[in-house]
A = this chain, B = another copy of it.
Amino acid sequence: MFIAKVIGNVVATQKNEKFLGMKLLLIQPYISRDGKLQISGSSVVAVDSVGAGVGECVLFTQGSSARLTPTTKDAPVDAVIVGIVDAVEVEGKLLEKP
């Protein structure tokens, strides 16, 4: 899994029927580097499965495992938010969340 910040949302009306009712969030991955959480890599469109919202720091899962939540079961989904991050601790220090 990776840590990300929810930065926006995506609207699609014409779509695969399994996506009906799903909340599509745009998220920006962050990594730990030099004692800070820093932006890294491409923004991803992930399905929300835990009630996440814009501005929150989340944990997301990719690949076939993204279909293992009740929300995404059997759907053609390859990224899902599985948790809201309360704290990231590195070497005994809490990192500031993005």
* A residues adjacent to B (C-beta < 8 A): 1-3, 7-16, 18-19, 24, 26, 28-29, 31-33, 40-46, 49-51, 54, 59, 61-69, 72, 74-80, 82-91, 95
Interfacial chain B residues near A83, Cβ < 8 Å:
12, 14-16, 19
Given A13-B86, A89-B9, residue A65 in contact with residue B78 (CB < 8 A): yes
Copies of this subunit: 5
Across the interface, A43 reaches (CB within 8 A) one of B32, B78, B89, namely B32
Beyond A10-B87, A13-B84, 10 extra complex contacts between A and B, CB < 8 Å = A8-B91, A9-B89, A11-B86, A11-B87, A16-B82, A31-B42, A33-B43, A41-B42, A63-B78, A76-B82
User: In the complex, which of the residues A1, A41, A77 has the most CB atoms of chain B within 10 Å of its own CB atom?
Assistant: A1
Residues A78 and B61 in contact, CB atoms below 8 Å apart: yes
Residues A75 and B68 in contact, CB atoms below 8 Å apart: yes
